Every structure is written in structure tokens, then in C-alpha cells.
Structure 1
Amino acid sequence: MEDAAIIHLWKSYDKKLEESLSLNKKNAEDIMHMKVRSFLASMKPSKIFALLVGIGWVILADIILIGTFHIASPFFLVSAGIQVLLTKLAIGIYLYQLILIQRVDISEPILSTQEKLSRLKSSSLWCARILFLQLPVWTTFYLTPAMLASGNPWLLLLQLAVTTAFFCAAIWLFINIRYSNRHKKWFRAIFQGKEWDPVIKAMALLEQVEEYRR
């Protein structure tokens, strides 16, 4: 009789312990999901600000391009056109990211959230690549055919060197801005703050949740 009572008590204790562990596990997962949501929410103000500034800039640039189309230098028109086009692509990416952030649901499966975070990370990299492609046009928009025809040869050589350097830098960054380079100093210098850190922290938290479940 005593043995049966002890076994019953032991099973009862074991059941309560299992329920307690399950509850603690669920609470830990909920807290981590809330942290993920908080990290992503912290990105929204800076992205909305960048989006509004970008929209204002392209509207102003479009007005200038249209107003000076028949009198401006071809260098200005091409350089400004490329810059505006790339900025519009970046604006589209920012809109896409805001939609992704808004669609993250802390109650959805971890794999679904991880997939959204992966797309957010990838789009952040692409946005940086696109914006860095603007570098060369900032060194050519002020040129005119007359400057090239009758300019100082040394100044023209300096102009060529600067434009070439910016072009090479833009291509190098476009190729090398990859997640695999995230630990390098130059990458960390570019990707830091509200534009990048919350995504990485959120991904790390979800990885912890997945490991905890295992």
C-alpha cells in the first residue's frame, strides 16, 4: 500500500514538473517573440524618415530634370537621371521592408518569421548595393562639353582619376556587400544602427527559440 502511494505521489510530482517546464518553455518563447517584434518596430521610424526624405528628393530632382531638360548639360541629365532612378528603386525597397515589418506576427510559426527576417536582411543588402552605385554620378553631374573641350589637362586627369576611383568603389561594394562579409570591419562600418542591428538581433533570438524547442 505504501509503495503504491509513493508511486502515485511520484507520478503526480513528475506530471506537475512536466507541466511547469512546459509552461516556462511557452513563456520563454512568448517573451522572445515579443522581443523580436520590438526589435523590428524600432526600425520603422528610421525607415519611414528615409522613405519620406527619398520621396521628397526624387520629386525635387524630377522637377529640376523636367525644367532644365532642354538647357542642361548632357552630363547633368544622365547623372541626375541615374541617381533618381536608383533612389526610386531604394524607395521601393523601403516600402517593401515596411510591409514585411508590419506583417511579422509573433504568433505565427518560427519558420515563417525567419523567412520574413531573411527577406528583410536580403533587401537591406540590396538597398545598400543600389545606393552605392550612385557614387560615380556624383563626380560627373557638373561636367559640360565645354569643360572637356577646353579644360585644363591636369584638372581633366584629376577628374578622370576621381570618377574612375568612385566607379571602382561602387562596383567593389556592389559585389562584396554580402551577408558572409558581415564580420569584416568595413561591413560593420556600413551596416550598423537601426537599419541593420535589429534584424540581426531578431534572427539570433529566433535561432535561440528553435534551439530551445529542440
Structure 2
Amino acid sequence: MNELELKELWKTANEKLEESFIINRKNAEDITRIKVYNFLSSMKPIKIFALLVGILWVSIGATVLGRIYLNTFSEANKFFLFSATIQILLTAIALFVYIYQLIKIYQVNSDESILKTQGKLVQLRISTLWSTRILFLQLPVWTTFWWNETMLTDWNLFQWIITIVITITFTYVSMWLFFNIKYENRNKKWFQLIFSGKEWIPLMKSMELLEQVEDYKVK
């Protein structure tokens, strides 16, 4: 075998390796897209269930509160009324975020490019963090809705101290979580305790898979 034949053989082998590499990469991308689609599809039931329950809760709450504001506002317990109003409003805002998330999840398909899918996953991640922040802002009002006017006249100092401490604690926790629920804190234990269900884990697995594909491309 002369030098020319060796060069041709080497060139043919390289071309076959390159072709095999391209096919393997394409197969890896296709499999990854299917896995990502399946991961995101697993999020749909819990999202839909939470959305339906939330809509029911907000609808009932808004109806009850609306009647109180219109018919019995002067006699109503203002602590309960305003606390419940804040809770319903925050839940309603979170519901809009859930609707946005469901739209994004249903927009993802196994045929679109990795880059487009990554963009949608980032939007899902951001909106998930925001919906959780918003929901945690409700914590303080769960400590005030039962307050009433008799507290002002019948309670002693000790009862007031306990009540105020509880409310301040819940307020501090809610604000701390609002400002610290960030993606960069995802490896911290408290974060993983909050984000450990089907609304978060499939999303993270999907992002990891796409990152692996990108790393494979670079290599």
C-alpha cells in the first residue's frame, strides 16, 4: 500500500468518523428533546390542578368579599376583610403566572430547536420563582385575619406581645423569602425544601439535559 492509498484510507476513515459523530449528536439532541418534552408534560397535571383550585378559591373569596364590601362593610370585621382581600389579590396574581406557565409548557414541542426550548425553560424558571415569592407574601395576613375590635379592649399586654411577635415573625419570613428566592440559591437546603416537587424538579432536569447537549456540542 503506497502513500497515496494510505492518505485516501485515512481521509475516508475521518469522513466516516465525522459522519458518525454528526449522526450521534443528532440522535442525542432528538432523544434529549423528547425527554425534555416528557419532563415538562409531567408538570401539566399539578399545574392544572393548582390552577383550578386557585380559580375556585379566588372566585369564592371574591364573591364573599364583594358582598361584604357592598352590603355589610360598616359592620364587617375590618381585620378579616382587609387580610382576606390581600390574600385573594395575591393568589389571583399567582394564578395569572400559572396561566403563563401552562402556555409556555404547551408551547414546548419535541421538534423545536434546543435554543428555543432553553429560552422557554428560562422563562418557566423565572415565573416559577416569582409565583412562589408572591404566594409567600401572604404569610402575614394569615396571622391577622382573625383579629377583631375586642382585642383593643379585652386583651392584656402579654397577649398583645405574643400576637405582635408572631405577626412580625411571619412578616420577616415572607419578606426574607421574597428577596432570597433566587436561582443562585438553588443548592441551599431551605431552597430545596421549598422547591422539591413536580413543579420544579422536572424543570431542573430538563435544563440539565439541554446543558449536557450544549456541552457535547462544544466538545
Q: Does 1:58 align with 2:58?
A: yes
Indicate the residue corresponding to 2:182 in structure 1. 178
Secondary structure at the counterpart of residue 208 of structure 2: helix
Distance 1:8 1:67 in 2: 86
The 8 Å contact of residues 117 and 199 in structure 1, kept in 2 or not, is answered as: yes
Distance 1:44 1:141 in 2: 33
Q: Give runs of aligned pairs for residues 67-146 of structure 1, distance below 5 A.
A: 67-69=67-69, 70=72, 71-146=75-150
Residue identity over aligned pairs, in percent, reads 52
Indicate the residue corresponding to 2:206 in structure 1. 202
TM-score of the pair, normalised by structure 2: 0.91
CA drift of 1:161 comes to 1.0
Spell out, residue by residue over 1:152-210, the C-alpha distance to the aligned partner (whole angstroms, 9 max, x if none): 33222211111111111111111111111111111110011201111111111111111
Deviates more, 1:146-155 or 1:23-32: 146-155
Q: Does 1:153 align with 2:157?
A: yes
Secondary structure at the counterpart of residue 195 of structure 1: coil
* Structure 1 unaligned regions, length at least 5: none
Deviates more, 1:77-86 or 1:58-67: 58-67
Distance 1:124 1:13 in 2: 49
The 8 Å contact of residues 148 and 156 in structure 1, kept in 2 or not, is answered as: no
Q: Give runs of aligned pairs for residues 159-174 of structure 1, distance below 5 A.
A: 159-174=163-178
Distance 1:143 1:51 in 2: 29
Letter aligned with residue 118 of structure 1: V
Distance 2:12 2:186 in 1: 51
